Amino acid sequence: MLMDPRLETVFPVKGPMSGGTRLTVRGKDLNAGNLDNISLTLGEEMLPCVIDSRTRHSTICTTPGVRWPKVVTSVRMFFDGSVRMLDQDPFTYTEDPVVDKIMPLTSFAR
């Protein structure tokens, strides 16, 4: 059976520039190829998104950190030498959140 993988959507569409976002790429036939020869990259810089799991309809990876906020212009998934791409600015790195205050300072024991 011939498989023709296709990338369709990315969720979530934004995450912190420190990385660590669990990015879900949805599509068709994403379980094609040998797992040892599969990789996923973000943007023109080809930032490696470490694959955690994959099924026929989704691949989950963890985003790397970047030095400044940026819009990723594409997601590429490599399958045994062939590549599939999703563009349309699928992911945006935003400033890391900063916690200024925690309220309330007390809570219930249970």
| Number of helical (H) and strand (E) elements in the chain, helices listed first | 0, 11
pLDDT of residue 1: 62
Mean pLDDT of the chain: 92
List, in sequence order, every beta strand (DSSP E) within 1-88: 6-11, 14-16, 22-28, 38-42, 47-48, 50-54, 58-62, 70-72, 75-79, 82-86
Share of the chain above pLDDT 70, in %: 99
pLDDT of residue 35: 77
All structural domains of the chain? 6-93 (2.60.40.10)
**25-78: pLDDT as tens digits:** 999 999 988 878 889 999 999 999 999 999 999 999 999 999 999 999 999 999
- Is the pLDDT confidence value at 2 over 80? no
pLDDT of residue 81: 82
Can you tell me the mean pLDDT for 73-89? Answer: 91
CB 67 within 8 A of CB 83: no
